[in-house]
Structure 1
Amino acid sequence: MTQIRPFTLAIPDAQLDDLNLRLDLARWPEKECVGDWSQGTPLEVLQDLTGYWRGGYDWRRCEAKLNALGQFQTEIQGLDIHFLHVRSPRADAVPLVMTHGWPGSVIEFMGVIEALANPPAGELAFHVVAPSLPGFGFSGKPTEAGWGVPKIAMAWAELMQRLGYSRWVAQGGDWGSAVTTAIGVIKPEGCLGIHLNMPIGRPEPEDLVAPSPAELKALAALKHYQDWDSGYSTQQRTRPQSVGYGLVDSPVGLAG
C-alpha cells in the first residue's frame, strides 16, 4: 500500500447545504460582559466571521485551487496521508516538507507555494510537499493512540523517501513547529536541516538563577499564556474526546 494516489477534491453539494443550514440555525450564547477579549471571542466578532463564512466565502474556488496544485494520498504506517506536491521546474530545487499548525490545514501555504517553487532567478527554489497532519483535512483519522509528534516526524521522513527525495529540508510553524523540531531531534536519513516559525526552547533551571530583564519579561509572558490563554490547548490535550462533540456538531464552535 505504498502507492502514491492522485486525490481530487469534490465535496458533494449536500454537505455544503448541510453546513449552510447548520450556520443558519446556529444558537448563539449571550453577549460577553466585558468590552474586550478577556472572556473569549466576542459575540459580534464571531457573528461577523460566520456571516462571511456563510455568504461570502467561495468554497468551490478554494477547491479548484487545491486541485490545480496537485493533491495526493498514500498509506503510511496504516494511515492514509493527504498531501500537496508541487515540483519546481528548476533542476537545482531543494525538496521541502512543510507542516501546518493547529487548527489549520495545507491551505495555510497556498499563498507561498508558487513563490517557493518558481522564485526569481538567483533565488533558491523548492519542490514543495505539504502533508495534512493525521486527523486533519483529508488525511486519515487515527483509530488508536500513538500518533504523537515523533511518529508524525518519522512518517514525513518516510513520505519524502517514498517521493524519491534522498536529501530534503523541513519547515513548520505552530503544531508544525513541534513536528519539525522532532525531525531535527530524530535526524532521519536525508534531512539536511530544519526551519521553524515558532522555535521551541526551554531553559534549564540553573540558567535562570539570576534572570535578566529580558528573561523576566519572557517568563512573565509565558505565565500569562499558561494562566489565561492556554485553556483550549489544555482541554484538547487532556480531554480531546469531550471537546470534540461540540466542535463536530457546531461549525460556529469550530470557527470560534
Structure 2
Amino acid sequence: MNEIRPFRIEIAQADVDELRRRLARTRWPVEVAGTGWERGVPLPYLNELTAYWRDGFDWRAREAELNAHPQFVTTVDGQDLHFLHVRSANPDATPLLLVHGWPSSVVEFLDLIPLLTDEFHLVVPSLPGFGLSPLSGPGWGNLFRVAGAVAELMTRLGYDRFAAQGGDVGAGVVGLLAMLHPDRVVGTHVNGPAPYPFGPPVEPDGLSDAEKVRAERFNTFREDGIGYLALQSTRPQTLAYALADSPVEQLAWIAEKFREWTDPAAELPEDAVGRDRLLTNVSLYWFTGTGATAAHVVYEGMQAFRQFMATAGDAAPAETPTPPPGAVAVFAADTSIRHLVDPMGTVVRWTEFDRGGHFAALEAPDLLAADVKEFFASLRPR
C-alpha cells in the first residue's frame, strides 16, 4: 500500500478531439447589451478565448512540458495522490513541499520549479479531487486529513524534515502541517492569506494606507465577488453538471477568478499569467473531470470550517508545541491584513510586493522564489 508508482500524463487523442468538438458546438447565451465583467465573463472575450483553445492551443506541447518533470502516484488513506518530485543536484538541498489552491493545480508551479531546484528538492502534490488526484470518496475537504496525507507522502519519500509553501487552500494545508507536525516542518511560507470571506467587513480605522487598499478590496470581494464560493460551499452537485458537461463553463468558471484575483495592473487573465498557462490549467480540470470534484472538496472544507468555528470555544485550550517559524508574502492583488492574519504576532517574516496576485507562482515566480529562498536560508544554522 506504500508503493510509489511512476506516472505520465497521457490524455487519449479521442478526448482531445472531443474537447474540440464540444468547443465548436457551444451554445452561446444572450448577453445583455452594455454590460461587462461586473456580471461575469463577457461574451466577446470568452468567445475569442474559446476559439483559441479550440484552434490555437497545443495540448500535446503542454502535456510534454508537464511530463518533463518526474511524476508519481501513491495511495494514502484510500486516496491516490499524484505528485511531481524534482530533486536538486545540490546534496545539501532542503526538501520543500509546494501546495496549490483553488482553482489551480500543479501547473501553477511550472515557472517556479527551475528557480528553486538549486536549493530545494521539490515535492508538488495534486490535492485530492484536483487535477491528477481524482477523488476517491468524501471527506477530503477536511484539511487536517489532507495535511496528514501529504505528511505521509513526505515520509514515504524519506524526508523526515521538510519546509512547506502554499497559497489559498495550500496555505491552509501548510498551516495545519505546522500544527500537526511541528517537529518535522522546519518552517512555513504562505502567500496571500485573507480574512474569512463570510466574516464581517474589515474596518479601515487604524490601518496603513496599503492595508486600507487591501481592506477595500476584501470588502468589495465580500459583497460582490463571493457568489462562486456561496454556490460551491452549498450546492456543489448542482454546479457539477455544468462543469462536467461544458468545457466553456469550466473555462469561464476559472477564467473569471484569474481576472479578478490577479495583479490589478493586468486587464485580462492572460496579461497576468499567459494564455497557454491559463488554458493548461483549465484543460487539466476538463480532461480529469475534477472541476466538479474540486467543488465538492470546497463544500466539505467550508462545512468543516464552520463546524470548527462553532465549537472552537467549547473545549479547554490544550498546550501546543511551539510552531515552526512562518513567513507571509503579500502580492499586489491580495487582501492580507497583518493584524487579522497574524493576531498573535508569530509571523517572523512579512513581505509586501507591488505586483503579482493570488496565483503568485504563475504571476511573479521571480519574487516568490527569492522570498522563499531568503526566508528558509535565514533558518539554516550559520
Return the alpha-carbon distance in structure 2 between the equivalents of residues 150 and 179 of structure 1: 7
Range with bigger deviation, 98-107 or 75-84: 98-107
Cα distance change on mapping 1:217 and 1:162 into 2, 3 Å: same
**Counterpart residue identity of residue 46, structure 1:** L
Return the alpha-carbon distance in structure 1 between the equivalents of residues 130 and 216 of structure 2: 33
8 Å Cα contact 1:32/1:42 also seen in 2: no
Aligned residue pairs, count: 246
What residue number does 1:154 align with?
148
Deviations 1:5-48 (A, max 9, x none): 00011111111111111100011111244343111111111112
Cα distance change on mapping 1:19 and 1:51 into 2, 3 Å: same
Return the alpha-carbon distance in structure 1 between the equivalents of residues 63 and 212 of structure 2: 46
Alignment of 1:4-19 (within 5 A): 4-19=4-19
8 Å Cα contact 1:157/1:188 also seen in 2: no
Deviations 1:38-94 (A, max 9, x none): 111111111121112111111111111222201100001110000000000101111
8 Å Cα contact 2:204/2:212 also seen in 1: no
Deviations 1:137-173 (A, max 9, x none): 1113132235421211111111111100011011111
8 Å Cα contact 2:70/2:86 also seen in 1: yes
Return the alpha-carbon distance in structure 2 between the equivalents of residues 201 and 74 of structure 1: 34
**Counterpart residue identity of residue 198, structure 1:** G
**What's the CA shift for 1:217?**
5.3
| 1:144 equivalent among 126, 138, 152 | 138
**SS at structure 2 position matched to 1:165:** coil
Range with bigger deviation, 13-22 or 30-39: 30-39
Alignment of 1:70-89 (within 5 A): 70-89=70-89
Return the alpha-carbon distance in structure 1 between the equivalents of residues 184 and 32 of structure 2: 52
Return the alpha-carbon distance in structure 2 between the equivalents of residues 114 and 210 of structure 1: 40
| RMSD between superposed Cα atoms in Å | 2.1
The answer for unaligned runs of 5 or more in structure 2 is: 253-382
What residue number does 2:226 align with?
230
Identity %: 43
**SS at structure 1 position matched to 2:30:** coil
Alignment of 1:170-189 (within 5 A): 170-189=164-183
1:247 aligned to 2:243?
A: yes
1:48 aligned to 2:42?
A: no
The answer for unaligned runs of 5 or more in structure 1 is: 119-124
Range with bigger deviation, 7-16 or 35-44: 35-44
**Counterpart residue identity of residue 253, structure 1:** E
**What's the CA shift for 1:186?**
2.7
**Counterpart residue identity of residue 136, structure 1:** F
Return the alpha-carbon distance in structure 2 between the equivalents of residues 209 and 39 of structure 1: 27
8 Å Cα contact 1:154/1:188 also seen in 2: no
Cα distance change on mapping 1:185 and 1:234 into 2, 3 Å: farther
Return the alpha-carbon distance in structure 2 between the equivalents of residues 222 and 12 of structure 1: 42
Alignment of 1:173-212 (within 5 A): 173-200=167-194, 211-212=205-206
What residue number does 1:60 align with?
60
Return the alpha-carbon distance in structure 2 between the equivalents of residues 33 and 232 of structure 1: 23
**What's the CA shift for 1:210?**
9.1
**Counterpart residue identity of residue 95, structure 2:** P
Return the alpha-carbon distance in structure 1 between the equivalents of residues 114 and 204 of structure 2: 47
| 1:126 equivalent among 111, 117, 120 | 120
Range with bigger deviation, 210-219 or 179-188: 210-219
TM-score by length of 2: 0.61
Return the alpha-carbon distance in structure 1 between the equivalents of residues 156 and 110 of structure 2: 23
Range with bigger deviation, 31-40 or 106-115: 31-40
**Counterpart residue identity of residue 179, structure 2:** V
Return the alpha-carbon distance in structure 1 between the equivalents of residues 171 and 109 of structure 2: 14
8 Å Cα contact 1:101/1:176 also seen in 2: yes
8 Å Cα contact 2:203/2:215 also seen in 1: no
**Counterpart residue identity of residue 255, structure 1:** L
8 Å Cα contact 2:128/2:140 also seen in 1: no
**Counterpart residue identity of residue 129, structure 1:** V
Return the alpha-carbon distance in structure 1 between the equivalents of residues 115 and 81 of structure 2: 25
**Counterpart residue identity of residue 142, structure 1:** S
**SS at structure 2 position matched to 1:238:** coil
